[in-house]
Amino acid sequence: MIKVGIIIASTRPGRVGDTVARWVHDAAVTHGGAEFELVDLKDVGLPHLDEPVPALMQQYSQPHTQRWAATVASFDAYVFVTPEYNRTFPGALKSAIDFVYAEWNNKAAGFVSYGINGGVLAVEHLRNVMGALGIAAVSDQVALSLHHDFVDFTAFKPQAHQEDAVTDMLDAVIAWGGALKPLRND
């Protein structure tokens, strides 16, 4: 059985990402087919990138980087739960991604985004980053509209069709995560 990390990308006070991520986690546990774990970047506590050697070299000198590398390496696939800020994903997520490199390789990723337009531009940018890391980004995604899936832009109340979207995305992430596992030397 593969292990999937559900990564909460927003660290902003008053965020809704943790609520969305718990909804994804609950749907994933009901779905089955993998082991699922929530990873909150707010709790990881990474500073701005402070490693003197590029991540490609895997010569991590900071204890927080070593812990983060072990966390990232422990998963076979990821689901990124991200808001859209100014037509892209949060800087905290970009920084967390950039701290390590090889630990991301040959894995799969799915996306649950939220924003005025469903967060689709954030995912578009994330797909480019995933390609650079050798992560297979699945095509199925969940795009939650602040207008239709939230009450007053803050209280999460997803429309019924979003359940099917989560299921489709999880099916793809689990399939790709399992298919890519033989490519890694873990």
Domain ranges of the chain: 2-183
Q: Of 149, 139, 141, 94, which Cα lies nearest the Cα of 116?
A: 149
The topology (CATH level 3) of 2-183 is Rossmann fold (3.40.50)
- C-alpha span between 169 and 131 (Å, rounded): 18
**Cα separation, 179 vs 68, whole angstroms:** 24
The token pair that represents 146 in the structure block: 């602040």
Whole-number Cα distances in Å, 130 to 1, 108, 109, 138, 146: 23, 9, 8, 10, 25
DSSP state of 88: B
Q: What is the pLDDT along the chain (186 residues), one digit of tens a residue?
A: 999 999 999 999 999 999 999 999 999 999 999 999 999 999 999 999 999 999 999 999 999 999 999 999 999 999 999 999 999 999 999 999 999 999 999 999 999 999 999 999 999 999 999 999 999 999 999 999 999 999 999 999 999 999 999 999 999 999 999 999 999 866
The pLDDT assigned to 186 comes to 60
